[in-house]
Structure 1
Amino acid sequence: MQGFPPVINELCRTLILGSMPGARSLSEQQYYGNPRNHFWRLLYAVYAPGATQDIQYGDKLDFTLRHGVGLWDVLAGCERQGSLDADIRNPEVNDFSELLTRYPVVERIFFNGQAAWQLYQKQVQPKLLKQGIGSEIRYGTLPSSSPARAMPFEAKLEAWRLISQGE
Protein backbone atom coordinates (compact mmCIF):
# COMPACT_ATOMS: atom_id res chain seq x y z
CA MET A 1 0.00 0.00 0.00
CA GLN A 2 1.16 3.51 -0.78
CA GLY A 3 -0.13 6.57 1.06
CA PHE A 4 -0.86 10.08 -0.17
CA PRO A 5 1.30 13.17 -0.55
CA PRO A 6 1.02 15.78 2.20
CA VAL A 7 -1.65 18.45 2.10
CA ILE A 8 0.23 21.47 3.41
CA ASN A 9 1.23 25.01 2.53
CA GLU A 10 3.38 27.81 3.94
CA LEU A 11 0.62 28.90 6.35
CA CYS A 12 0.19 25.58 8.14
CA ARG A 13 1.31 25.79 11.74
CA THR A 14 -0.57 22.62 12.67
CA LEU A 15 -0.09 19.18 11.14
CA ILE A 16 -2.45 16.27 11.74
CA LEU A 17 -0.90 12.86 11.14
CA GLY A 18 -2.68 9.58 10.68
CA SER A 19 -0.86 6.27 10.56
CA MET A 20 -1.75 5.07 7.04
CA PRO A 21 -4.94 5.55 4.99
CA GLY A 22 -7.48 2.77 5.32
CA ALA A 23 -8.62 0.57 2.45
CA ARG A 24 -11.67 2.73 1.66
CA SER A 25 -9.63 5.95 1.67
CA LEU A 26 -7.07 4.37 -0.64
CA SER A 27 -9.75 3.20 -3.06
CA GLU A 28 -11.38 6.66 -3.01
CA GLN A 29 -7.94 8.34 -3.21
CA GLN A 30 -8.99 10.71 -0.41
CA TYR A 31 -7.78 11.37 3.08
CA TYR A 32 -10.44 10.02 5.43
CA GLY A 33 -12.53 8.80 2.50
CA ASN A 34 -14.57 6.35 4.56
CA PRO A 35 -17.91 8.11 5.19
CA ARG A 36 -18.06 6.45 8.64
CA ASN A 37 -14.78 8.07 9.67
CA HIS A 38 -15.42 11.12 11.87
CA PHE A 39 -12.41 13.15 10.68
CA TRP A 40 -14.19 15.69 8.48
CA ARG A 41 -17.12 15.99 10.87
CA LEU A 42 -14.69 16.68 13.74
CA LEU A 43 -12.66 19.20 11.78
CA TYR A 44 -15.75 21.13 10.69
CA ALA A 45 -17.21 21.01 14.21
CA VAL A 46 -13.99 22.55 15.56
CA TYR A 47 -13.51 25.28 12.94
CA ALA A 48 -16.98 25.91 11.51
CA PRO A 49 -19.73 24.58 13.78
CA GLY A 50 -22.96 24.18 11.90
CA ALA A 51 -21.33 24.30 8.47
CA THR A 52 -22.21 21.63 5.97
CA GLN A 53 -19.63 18.95 5.33
CA ASP A 54 -21.38 17.52 2.28
CA ILE A 55 -19.00 19.23 -0.12
CA GLN A 56 -16.40 18.21 -2.66
CA TYR A 57 -13.15 16.68 -1.46
CA GLY A 58 -11.06 19.53 -2.89
CA ASP A 59 -13.14 22.02 -0.90
CA LYS A 60 -12.47 20.02 2.27
CA LEU A 61 -8.73 20.19 1.62
CA ASP A 62 -8.98 23.94 0.99
CA PHE A 63 -10.87 24.25 4.28
CA THR A 64 -8.04 22.61 6.21
CA LEU A 65 -5.40 24.81 4.58
CA ARG A 66 -7.43 27.99 5.22
CA HIS A 67 -7.34 27.08 8.91
CA GLY A 68 -3.58 26.50 8.91
CA VAL A 69 -3.92 22.74 9.21
CA GLY A 70 -1.91 20.29 7.12
CA LEU A 71 -2.58 16.58 6.67
CA TRP A 72 -0.27 13.65 6.18
CA ASP A 73 0.44 10.19 7.50
CA VAL A 74 3.39 8.82 9.40
CA LEU A 75 3.75 6.02 6.87
CA ALA A 76 4.44 6.37 3.17
CA GLY A 77 3.71 2.70 2.65
CA CYS A 78 3.26 -0.65 4.32
CA GLU A 79 1.82 -4.11 3.91
CA ARG A 80 -1.61 -4.56 5.47
CA GLN A 81 -4.74 -6.60 4.92
CA GLY A 82 -7.76 -4.37 5.53
CA SER A 83 -7.59 -1.12 7.47
CA LEU A 84 -6.55 -1.94 11.03
CA ASP A 85 -3.34 -0.35 12.30
CA ALA A 86 -2.61 -3.53 14.25
CA ASP A 87 -2.19 -5.35 10.91
CA ILE A 88 0.54 -3.03 9.55
CA ARG A 89 3.65 -4.90 8.44
CA ASN A 90 6.91 -3.59 6.95
CA PRO A 91 6.20 0.09 7.61
CA GLU A 92 8.00 2.67 5.49
CA VAL A 93 7.96 6.17 7.02
CA ASN A 94 7.47 9.44 5.18
CA ASP A 95 10.33 11.93 4.88
CA PHE A 96 9.65 14.29 7.77
CA SER A 97 13.11 15.82 7.59
CA GLU A 98 12.32 17.21 4.17
CA LEU A 99 8.77 18.25 5.09
CA LEU A 100 9.70 20.08 8.30
CA THR A 101 12.67 21.75 6.65
CA ARG A 102 10.48 22.91 3.78
CA TYR A 103 7.68 24.07 6.12
CA PRO A 104 9.46 25.42 9.21
CA VAL A 105 6.32 27.19 10.46
CA VAL A 106 4.87 23.86 11.65
CA GLU A 107 4.85 24.20 15.40
CA ARG A 108 2.27 21.62 16.46
CA ILE A 109 1.73 18.04 15.38
CA PHE A 110 -1.36 16.14 16.43
CA PHE A 111 -1.70 12.42 15.93
CA ASN A 112 -5.01 10.95 14.85
CA GLY A 113 -4.87 8.04 17.26
CA GLN A 114 -2.31 6.22 19.36
CA ALA A 115 -0.95 4.11 16.50
CA ALA A 116 0.17 7.20 14.58
CA TRP A 117 1.89 8.60 17.69
CA GLN A 118 3.62 5.29 18.46
CA LEU A 119 4.90 4.91 14.89
CA TYR A 120 6.18 8.50 14.86
CA GLN A 121 7.77 8.25 18.28
CA LYS A 122 9.55 5.02 17.40
CA GLN A 123 10.49 5.49 13.75
CA VAL A 124 10.58 9.24 13.04
CA GLN A 125 11.23 11.41 16.08
CA PRO A 126 14.64 9.99 17.08
CA LYS A 127 16.02 10.57 13.56
CA LEU A 128 14.66 14.13 13.49
CA LEU A 129 16.17 14.98 16.86
CA LYS A 130 19.56 13.64 15.75
CA GLN A 131 19.31 16.03 12.78
CA GLY A 132 18.34 18.92 15.03
CA ILE A 133 14.83 19.10 13.57
CA GLY A 134 11.58 19.37 15.49
CA SER A 135 12.84 19.88 19.04
CA GLU A 136 10.51 22.88 19.46
CA ILE A 137 7.43 21.22 18.00
CA ARG A 138 4.61 20.55 20.45
CA TYR A 139 2.90 17.18 20.15
CA GLY A 140 -0.53 15.88 21.07
CA THR A 141 -2.44 12.67 20.57
CA LEU A 142 -6.14 12.75 19.73
CA PRO A 143 -8.68 9.95 19.89
CA SER A 144 -8.75 8.25 16.52
CA SER A 145 -11.43 9.50 14.15
CA SER A 146 -11.75 5.95 12.82
CA PRO A 147 -15.08 4.17 13.14
CA ALA A 148 -13.10 1.35 14.79
CA ARG A 149 -12.48 3.68 17.79
CA ALA A 150 -15.55 3.08 19.92
CA MET A 151 -16.07 6.44 21.60
CA PRO A 152 -19.03 8.82 21.45
CA PHE A 153 -18.62 11.61 18.90
CA GLU A 154 -19.04 14.34 21.54
CA ALA A 155 -16.18 12.90 23.60
CA LYS A 156 -13.96 12.80 20.52
CA LEU A 157 -14.94 16.37 19.68
CA GLU A 158 -14.04 17.62 23.15
CA ALA A 159 -10.53 16.22 22.75
CA TRP A 160 -10.22 17.43 19.14
CA ARG A 161 -10.91 21.03 20.17
CA LEU A 162 -7.22 21.14 21.15
CA ILE A 163 -6.25 21.62 17.52
CA SER A 164 -7.73 25.13 17.48
CA GLN A 165 -6.28 26.25 20.81
CA GLY A 166 -3.15 28.30 20.95
CA GLU A 167 -3.45 29.63 17.42
Structure 2
Amino acid sequence: MSKTRAPGDAGRSVGGEWVEKPGARVKKARTEAEPVAVPVSAEPLLEGFPPVVAADTHTMVFGSFPGVASLSATQYYAHPQNQFWRLLGAVLDEPLPSLPYAERLIRLLAHRIGVWDVLAACERTGSLDAAIRNASPNDFAALRRHAPSLRKVCFNGKTAGRFEPVMREAGYKTLVLPSSSPAHAMLSFEQKLVVWRGVND
Protein backbone atom coordinates (compact mmCIF):
# COMPACT_ATOMS: atom_id res chain seq x y z
CA MET A 1 0.00 0.00 0.00
CA SER A 2 1.42 3.39 -0.93
CA LYS A 3 1.86 5.98 1.76
CA THR A 4 1.32 9.73 1.44
CA ARG A 5 3.65 12.07 3.25
CA ALA A 6 1.96 14.53 5.57
CA PRO A 7 2.92 18.22 5.51
CA GLY A 8 6.04 18.76 7.54
CA ASP A 9 6.72 15.02 7.64
CA ALA A 10 9.92 14.26 9.48
CA GLY A 11 9.80 10.56 8.77
CA ARG A 12 9.87 7.84 11.34
CA SER A 13 11.84 4.81 12.30
CA VAL A 14 11.20 1.76 14.43
CA GLY A 15 12.91 1.85 17.81
CA GLY A 16 12.40 2.39 21.51
CA GLU A 17 11.99 0.14 24.51
CA TRP A 18 8.36 -0.95 24.78
CA VAL A 19 7.18 -4.04 22.90
CA GLU A 20 3.92 -5.90 23.35
CA LYS A 21 4.16 -9.52 24.42
CA PRO A 22 3.91 -11.76 21.34
CA GLY A 23 0.50 -13.28 20.69
CA ALA A 24 1.70 -15.55 17.92
CA ARG A 25 0.57 -19.10 17.40
CA VAL A 26 3.06 -21.92 17.76
CA LYS A 27 3.41 -24.98 15.56
CA LYS A 28 3.24 -28.20 17.53
CA ALA A 29 6.12 -30.59 16.94
CA ARG A 30 4.92 -33.90 15.51
CA THR A 31 7.89 -36.03 16.53
CA GLU A 32 10.84 -35.70 18.88
CA ALA A 33 13.15 -35.69 15.87
CA GLU A 34 11.61 -32.54 14.42
CA PRO A 35 13.01 -29.06 15.17
CA VAL A 36 11.92 -27.01 18.15
CA ALA A 37 8.50 -25.36 17.76
CA VAL A 38 8.68 -22.10 15.82
CA PRO A 39 6.28 -19.13 16.33
CA VAL A 40 4.07 -18.51 13.31
CA SER A 41 2.41 -15.13 12.91
CA ALA A 42 -1.32 -15.26 12.28
CA GLU A 43 -1.56 -11.73 10.88
CA PRO A 44 0.58 -9.66 8.49
CA LEU A 45 2.72 -6.87 9.93
CA LEU A 46 0.94 -3.53 9.65
CA GLU A 47 2.86 -0.27 9.32
CA GLY A 48 1.66 3.09 10.60
CA PHE A 49 1.94 6.59 9.18
CA PRO A 50 4.68 9.23 9.29
CA PRO A 51 4.10 12.11 11.70
CA VAL A 52 2.26 15.30 10.88
CA VAL A 53 4.77 17.73 12.37
CA ALA A 54 6.69 20.93 11.62
CA ALA A 55 9.67 22.70 13.15
CA ASP A 56 7.39 25.08 15.08
CA THR A 57 5.00 22.39 16.39
CA HIS A 58 4.54 22.87 20.14
CA THR A 59 1.94 20.15 20.86
CA MET A 60 1.64 16.56 19.62
CA VAL A 61 -1.42 14.32 19.90
CA PHE A 62 -0.43 10.67 19.90
CA GLY A 63 -2.85 7.87 19.11
CA SER A 64 -2.11 4.16 19.44
CA PHE A 65 -2.15 2.83 15.86
CA PRO A 66 -4.34 3.52 12.78
CA GLY A 67 -7.55 1.50 12.58
CA VAL A 68 -8.68 -0.47 9.57
CA ALA A 69 -10.54 2.49 8.03
CA SER A 70 -7.53 4.76 8.50
CA LEU A 71 -5.10 2.27 6.99
CA SER A 72 -7.41 1.80 4.01
CA ALA A 73 -7.76 5.55 3.44
CA THR A 74 -4.13 6.32 4.38
CA GLN A 75 -5.46 9.03 6.70
CA TYR A 76 -5.32 9.62 10.42
CA TYR A 77 -8.71 9.02 12.09
CA ALA A 78 -10.64 8.16 8.94
CA HIS A 79 -13.44 6.23 10.66
CA PRO A 80 -16.57 8.41 10.32
CA GLN A 81 -17.61 7.75 13.92
CA ASN A 82 -14.25 8.61 15.44
CA GLN A 83 -14.58 11.96 17.22
CA PHE A 84 -10.96 13.09 16.79
CA TRP A 85 -11.56 15.75 14.13
CA ARG A 86 -14.77 16.91 15.75
CA LEU A 87 -13.07 17.29 19.14
CA LEU A 88 -10.05 19.16 17.81
CA GLY A 89 -12.30 21.26 15.61
CA ALA A 90 -14.23 22.37 18.68
CA VAL A 91 -11.02 23.02 20.62
CA LEU A 92 -9.50 25.12 17.83
CA ASP A 93 -12.75 26.67 16.60
CA GLU A 94 -12.08 25.24 13.14
CA PRO A 95 -14.52 23.33 10.86
CA LEU A 96 -12.13 20.37 10.64
CA PRO A 97 -14.70 17.59 10.03
CA SER A 98 -16.04 19.34 6.92
CA LEU A 99 -12.63 20.05 5.36
CA PRO A 100 -10.68 17.84 2.93
CA TYR A 101 -8.09 15.76 4.74
CA ALA A 102 -5.08 17.68 3.43
CA GLU A 103 -6.64 20.95 4.58
CA ARG A 104 -7.26 19.52 8.04
CA LEU A 105 -3.56 18.81 8.40
CA ILE A 106 -2.66 22.30 7.22
CA ARG A 107 -5.01 23.84 9.78
CA LEU A 108 -3.56 21.71 12.59
CA LEU A 109 -0.03 22.72 11.72
CA ALA A 110 -1.12 26.36 11.56
CA HIS A 111 -2.12 25.98 15.22
CA ARG A 112 1.28 24.34 15.86
CA ILE A 113 -0.34 20.99 16.66
CA GLY A 114 0.99 17.73 15.25
CA VAL A 115 -0.32 14.16 15.05
CA TRP A 116 1.41 10.80 15.30
CA ASP A 117 0.97 7.35 16.83
CA VAL A 118 2.99 5.69 19.56
CA LEU A 119 3.35 2.50 17.50
CA ALA A 120 5.27 2.25 14.25
CA ALA A 121 4.15 -1.28 13.39
CA CYS A 122 2.18 -4.18 14.83
CA GLU A 123 0.09 -7.24 14.08
CA ARG A 124 -3.64 -6.86 14.65
CA THR A 125 -6.95 -8.31 13.55
CA GLY A 126 -9.62 -5.61 13.34
CA SER A 127 -9.20 -2.16 14.86
CA LEU A 128 -9.31 -2.72 18.63
CA ASP A 129 -6.21 -1.89 20.65
CA ALA A 130 -6.74 -5.08 22.65
CA ALA A 131 -5.94 -7.09 19.51
CA ILE A 132 -2.51 -5.50 18.99
CA ARG A 133 0.39 -7.96 19.05
CA ASN A 134 4.14 -7.80 18.37
CA ALA A 135 4.19 -4.00 18.44
CA SER A 136 7.17 -1.75 17.78
CA PRO A 137 7.17 1.87 19.03
CA ASN A 138 8.01 4.93 17.00
CA ASP A 139 11.28 6.81 17.39
CA PHE A 140 10.30 9.47 19.92
CA ALA A 141 13.85 10.80 20.16
CA ALA A 142 13.48 12.05 16.58
CA LEU A 143 10.85 14.55 17.73
CA ARG A 144 13.44 16.57 19.62
CA ARG A 145 15.43 16.97 16.41
CA HIS A 146 12.55 17.64 14.03
CA ALA A 147 10.24 19.56 16.38
CA PRO A 148 12.60 21.60 18.59
CA SER A 149 9.70 23.79 19.77
CA LEU A 150 7.70 20.82 21.09
CA ARG A 151 6.59 21.36 24.68
CA LYS A 152 3.48 19.23 25.22
CA VAL A 153 2.58 15.66 24.31
CA CYS A 154 -1.03 14.48 24.55
CA PHE A 155 -2.20 10.87 24.34
CA ASN A 156 -5.48 9.88 22.73
CA GLY A 157 -6.68 7.08 25.02
CA LYS A 158 -5.18 4.73 27.59
CA THR A 159 -3.23 2.55 25.16
CA ALA A 160 -1.28 5.52 23.84
CA GLY A 161 -1.13 6.80 27.42
CA ARG A 162 1.16 3.91 28.39
CA PHE A 163 3.94 6.03 26.95
CA GLU A 164 3.11 9.07 29.09
CA PRO A 165 5.85 8.33 31.67
CA VAL A 166 8.45 8.07 28.90
CA MET A 167 7.59 11.49 27.47
CA ARG A 168 7.24 13.09 30.90
CA GLU A 169 10.69 11.85 31.88
CA ALA A 170 11.99 13.29 28.60
CA GLY A 171 10.92 16.72 29.85
CA TYR A 172 7.62 17.25 28.06
CA LYS A 173 4.37 18.38 29.61
CA THR A 174 1.90 15.51 29.17
CA LEU A 175 -1.86 14.96 29.10
CA VAL A 176 -3.77 11.68 28.73
CA LEU A 177 -7.07 12.30 26.92
CA PRO A 178 -10.25 10.21 26.86
CA SER A 179 -10.21 8.20 23.65
CA SER A 180 -11.91 9.66 20.59
CA SER A 181 -12.67 6.12 19.40
CA PRO A 182 -16.32 5.11 18.86
CA ALA A 183 -15.53 2.09 21.05
CA HIS A 184 -15.06 4.44 24.02
CA ALA A 185 -18.66 5.40 24.70
CA MET A 186 -18.48 5.75 28.49
CA LEU A 187 -18.18 9.53 28.16
CA SER A 188 -20.32 11.86 26.07
CA PHE A 189 -18.77 14.14 23.47
CA GLU A 190 -19.23 17.09 25.81
CA GLN A 191 -17.47 15.28 28.66
CA LYS A 192 -14.56 14.37 26.42
CA LEU A 193 -14.34 17.93 25.12
CA VAL A 194 -13.77 19.31 28.63
CA VAL A 195 -10.52 17.33 28.84
CA TRP A 196 -9.56 17.79 25.19
CA ARG A 197 -9.55 21.56 25.60
CA GLY A 198 -6.31 21.00 27.49
CA VAL A 199 -4.63 20.24 24.16
CA ASN A 200 -4.59 23.95 23.35
CA ASP A 201 -3.92 25.36 26.83
TM tier relative to shorter chain: 0.7 to 0.9
In the other structure, the counterpart of 1:28 is 73
2:113 matched residue in structure 1: 69
1:99-133 CA-to-partner distances (Å, cap 9, x unmatched) read: 22221211100000010011x257xx28x95xxxx
1:5-52 CA distances to partner (integer Å, 9 max, x unpaired)?
A: 000001110000001011111101100000100000001101116x36
Kindly report which structure 2 residues correspond to 1:4-83, keeping only aligned pairs within 5 A, or say none.
4-48=49-93, 51=95, 53-83=97-127
Q: Output one character per residue of 1:42-98: Cα deviation in whole Å (capped at 9) or x when no partner.
A: 01101116x362111000001110111000000000000001111110011111112
Measure, in 2, the Cα distance between the counterparts of 1:11 and 1:142: 23
TM-score (norm 2): 0.73
- What letter corresponds to residue 161 of structure 1 in structure 2? R
Amino acid at match of 2:193: L
- Equivalent residue for 2:29? none
Alignment of 1:85-100 (within 5 A): 85-100=129-144
Q: Counterpart of 2:194? A: 158
Q: Distance in 2 between matches of 1:121 and 1:79?
A: 22
Unaligned runs of 5+ in 1: none
- Partners of 1:52 and 1:103 in 2: CA distance: 23
Distance in structure 2 (CA, Å) of the matches to 1:107 and 1:138: 6
In structure 2, give the amino acid aligned to 1:137. Answer: Y
SS at match of 2:174: strand
Q: Secondary structure at the match of 1:37?
A: coil
Q: What aligned pairs does 1:110-149 form with structure 2 within 5 A after superposition?
A: 110-118=154-162, 120-121=163-164, 125=166, 134=170, 136-149=171-184
Q: How far apart, CA to CA, are the structure 2 residues paired with 1:163 and 1:98?
A: 21
Aligned residues: 155
> Whose radius of gyration is greater, 1 or 2?
2
Amino acid at match of 1:3: G
Runs (4 or more) in structure 1 with deviation over 4 Å come to none
Percent identity for Structure 1 against Structure 2 = 45
> For 1:111, what is the secondary structure of its paired residue?
strand
In structure 2, the CA distance between the partners of 1:4 and 1:52, relative to structure 1 (3 Å rule), is: closer
What letter corresponds to residue 87 of structure 2 in structure 1?
L
State the TM-score, normalized to the length of structure 1. 0.88
